[in-house]
Structure 1
């Protein structure tokens, strides 16, 4: 009788790092663009009473015979009220031949890391080669993993950190300077983080634009990561007008990504979208065509990113005999 391997967060952290997850996420975008993936758009349950939601994200990668489902929440009040992370997740990996649950693992760390890695992969393919200044709008966990991933693909010389809380942005900037030896400074306004930045990473839960078009310089690449549910947006719609927009998946981006409100209002149509990041990676569509072009990556987070990443971790756990074995059929 096969057994299910249970992996907690500390065990998962021993089995992977950002460099490996960058490779996993790039592979995920690639196989998605090659149409080797069965992946319905994520489904939502909204807990309006508690200001939160639950998302179900299944995926089957036919080319790799890897399958699974992630269950993930977003509750912004958690850190303040309950001393819990805003985002928590569980991932179940399923043997596609039998449907047997081969592994159940914490998905919280994987979610944060693969979200950051998506920004890294997008920066690798869409940012100017001579990019040096990184602007951060938001200084939470996803800003941290996004910075870590972008630092793997970009020669960062300066980081500008903005968020609502002075103490948070000061601590974040200090951490970057001390741990990475990169000049980082906390700035008082979002405008200061945006103006003059070569690459911008936005990771806020905002429901109204916080980045104005007039602040964005020609040649900027923007990783718009914060809008991941209907009604959220971080960018002034005028930024979209003058940019090359690259998405992860039309079904999700049009429903819950940075473009969801402009699409609902008829401001942005599917024909205005350059294509998906996976299509850029496999060479189906071009990346940026000039150093003056503004590029935007609209990231909603795909189940295929989670499953490729989690499957690699599961295989390493098997190899190293890590994790608790459980037979749920006993």
Structure 2
């Protein structure tokens, strides 16, 4: 039996941001309510060349199980950037047969930004008007594109450590959205008065400080996905109502949380819940208009599996004879 493989073009043909937000809304509730133990990702450092990650997981009998195998190496054509190359393998929960392989980079781009957009839709104030994205790479662009489906933002700002890169991305997004996107050179100015902030950088040290974030803001911390790099300082962690995609992962792999915990500022109980628990009505989300909410995105393989399975189903429908 030939195994279907979906390259980046096929993934993007079958899955857009709005659809992916809906797919993840269901998947994250399955993750948080099924109570099945999900293995933590295994990351192997490859002699300073890059990383290799193995991420197994399962949704349920109807949605299947599988794994993501991905390398993260520096992109030689784009200095300071990295690429996620690999595959997502989806197996049938009914028969155990492999159903498809999908390009991991394309799926990761879509599902990461869509997961943040879902968190914003769930935790941000309903009157949010200003979106700031920190970063200038693939995920920065994806986060802007995904967020247009969950809010009517009057102003969109881009900040990057290299201002010309921020300008370039802002110009590109202005053309894609048909409305102005502003590039700002100063991080504090970029987040001032923002209602939603997304950090999508490869920064090793904080680029977002708690003293800059006003009450009522929602923050998506996305860029750091393993222990070591931190995008936000401990003051922000302490001040926030902290949510994770998967609590066991956050407790051992979320850098910003680990730094604050090692300093004695918080403990494990600071993670009040998973986004799937909020969606399922098991845990309260935002409790007041003044509260700062924070969603730590480490990424979970069920997001990849659900997205890839949707791509497989969509192409099966396209290819069905009339």
Residues 196-275 of structure 1 mapped to structure 2, 5 A cutoff: 196-257=193-254, 258-275=256-273
Q: What CA distance in whole angstroms lies between the structure 2 residues aligned with 1:273 and 1:102?
A: 35
Contact 1:231 1:260 in 2 (8 A): no
Can you give the 5+ residue segments of structure 1 that lack an aligned partner in the other structure?
A: 323-330
Other-structure match for 2:33: 34
Contact 2:133 2:143 in 1 (8 A): no
Contact 1:127 1:199 in 2 (8 A): yes
**Residues 76, 189 of structure 1: CA spacing in aligned structure 2 closer, same or farther, 3 A cutoff?**
farther
Residues 281-296 of structure 1 mapped to structure 2, 5 A cutoff: 281-296=279-294
**Count of residue correspondences:** 319
1:303 corresponds to which of 301, 304, 310: 301
Report how far residue 86 of structure 1 moved: 1.8
Greater alpha carbon shift after TM alignment, 182-191 vs 134-143: 182-191
Can you list the C-alpha shifts for 1:184-223, whole angstroms capped at 9, x where unaligned? 2111121111111110010111221111111111111000
Contact 2:6 2:103 in 1 (8 A): yes
Report how far residue 272 of structure 1 moved: 1.5
Contact 1:233 1:259 in 2 (8 A): no
1:166 corresponds to which of 141, 163, 168: 163
Report how far residue 98 of structure 1 moved: 4.4
> Secondary structure at 1:177's aligned position in 2?
helix
> Secondary structure at 1:32's aligned position in 2?
helix
Q: What CA distance in whole angstroms lies between the structure 1 residues aligned with 2:122 and 2:235?
A: 23
1:132 corresponds to which of 129, 152, 156: 129
Runs of 4 or more, structure 1, over 4 Å off, are none
Work out whether 1:16 is the aligned partner of 2:54: no
Report how far residue 99 of structure 1 moved: 3.5
Work out whether 1:143 is the aligned partner of 2:143: no
Can you give the 5+ residue segments of structure 2 that lack an aligned partner in the other structure?
A: none
TM-score, structure 1 length as denominator?
Answer: 0.91
> Secondary structure at 2:277's aligned position in 1?
helix
Q: What CA distance in whole angstroms lies between the structure 1 residues aligned with 2:75 and 2:193?
A: 33
TM-score, structure 2 length as denominator?
Answer: 0.93
Report how far residue 31 of structure 1 moved: 0.5
Contact 2:134 2:158 in 1 (8 A): yes
Q: What CA distance in whole angstroms lies between the structure 2 residues aligned with 1:144 and 1:81?
A: 17
Contact 2:244 2:250 in 1 (8 A): yes
